[in-house]
Amino acid sequence: MEIKFLIVDDSLTMRRIVINALKTLGYESIVEASDGKEAIMKLMTEGANFVITDWNMPEMNGLELTRWIRSTPQFENVPILMVTTRGNKDDVIEAMKARVNNYIVKPFTPQGLKEKIEQILKTVGVG
């Protein structure tokens, strides 16, 4: 099964970094959104089976997006990797309570991103 990523970040630069890292890893099917609201529209229209989202964004943040995905039957099992500058323990716990599959703190390396994606794919059985 081909993995289609949805990259959600209000920073165009950050989206480019993630997309370039994914392409280096051999993933070609990628959709992007600049905030949670746009991400929901993209999920509804274009679909995706793996979401990589920033936490801090205008309109709708990554935590709110995660909660929406988890409460929407057609997307509730989509893996979510949270990418954020928020590395303190309380934030990690809050993200885990919202049911992200994994969490990576910026700045990260393409190798770090690859490892997180592979860990998630092993646990959810996609790919």
Where exactly are the structural domains of the chain? Answer: 5-124
pLDDT at 70: 98
Type of residue numbered 39: A
The domain defined by 5-124 folds into Rossmann fold (3.40.50)
Start-to-end CA span in the chain (Å): 6
pLDDT reported for residue 126: 58
3-class state of residue 8 by DSSP: strand
**How sure is the predictor about 2, in pLDDT bands with cuts at 50, 70 and 90?**
confident
Which stretches of the chain are DSSP H helices? Answer: 12-24, 36-45, 62-70, 89-97, 110-124
- The C-alpha atoms of residue 32 and residue 115 are separated, in whole angstroms, by 21
Calculate the dihedral angle through the C-alpha atoms of 67, 122, 5, 21, rounding to the nearest 10 degrees: 120
The pTM for the full model equals: 0.95
The predicted pLDDT at position 124 comes to 84
Q: Please state, for a pLDDT cut of 70, what percent of the chain lies above it.
A: 97
**Structure tokens of 62?**
């990554």
